Structure 1
């Protein structure tokens, strides 16, 4: 019996003048604003980078929770280098994770990030496999 995949992701994006677009699930619900001019929301590329950070972040939180070492804070700074021509595609991405958690050991946080970036994040897996995605970790204020 073939393995069934998840149902298709369906979104609707509506133009709101100038470079502004609002996206939401086709079935309704909350929306996100994208603005290529960066005035009323993040650009589409910024939104993609945010999706990558959010996707890997969910996995990191879940992996550490399963280890019974929940975190108290997580943030991810993302830097995406871009091609100078047209289209200005991403050529390299770096994710800088900042994790706070009293019982979180560095080796386990690093493993959680590695698994999130290389195995579990569907956003990462949907990007060009040749796009370099690197990461770093600051755990409880220590960058090491």
Structure 2
């Protein structure tokens, strides 16, 4: 894998992935775009979401929506690394079995999500979930 990051003035940077996709990041505490640390949180949530959605689809769960609310704590000193990250999955669909969601979240956390597992080597990463019935 490869990526490139270009300085765009002030403390804004343009990151370009090896696959050619770009994202702006802001080193001014997210004034104009997500900060690099916010990008880490979005990365762990999206990586884990890919697993959870895929596992639920393979289990033939009628999932219609999956959202992850991520909260994190950072150290008070420099470097202000994450000390804890919590991912709360909110899964919406028809007749979604809670045991399937629990299994999907656990498999992602313990086996599949590279970002979560990598961060877990130095950060306390926890997971929870809730299931909402579809409004349809």
Question: What TM-score do the two structures reach when normalised by structure 2?
Answer: 0.91
The residue aligned with 1:3 is none
Alpha carbons 1:91, 1:132 under 8 Å: kept:
yes
Number of matched pairs: 132
Give the whole-Å Cα distance in 2 for the aligned partners of 1:136 and 1:26: 32
* Structure with higher strand content: 2
Give the whole-Å Cα distance in 1 for the aligned partners of 2:21 and 2:31: 20
Which of 112, 121, 128 lines up with 1:120 in the alignment? 112
Instruction: Please tell me whether residue 96 in structure 1 is matched to residue 88 in structure 2.
Output: yes
Question: What TM-score do the two structures reach when normalised by structure 1?
Answer: 0.86
Question: What is the RMSD of the two structures over their aligned residues, measured on CA atoms?
Answer: 1.4
Instruction: Please tell me whether residue 36 in structure 1 is matched to residue 27 in structure 2.
Output: yes
Q: Specify the SS of the correspondent of 1:52.
A: helix
In the TM superposition, what is the alpha-carbon distance from 1:82 to its structure 2 partner? 0.1
Instruction: Please tell me whether residue 19 in structure 1 is matched to residue 11 in structure 2.
Output: yes
Q: Specify the SS of the correspondent of 2:94.
A: coil
Alpha carbons 1:61, 1:70 under 8 Å: kept:
no
Cα 1:114–1:128 shift into 2, 3 Å: closer
Question: Structure 2, unaligned stretches of length 5 or more?
Answer: none
Question: 5 Å matches for 1:49-68?
Answer: 49-68=41-60
The residue aligned with 1:5 is none
Ranked by relative contact order (alpha carbons within 8 Å, sequence separation 6 or more), the top structure is: 2
Alpha carbons 2:119, 2:125 under 8 Å: kept:
no
Q: Specify the SS of the correspondent of 1:101.
A: strand
Which of 75, 93, 108 lines up with 2:67 in the alignment? 75
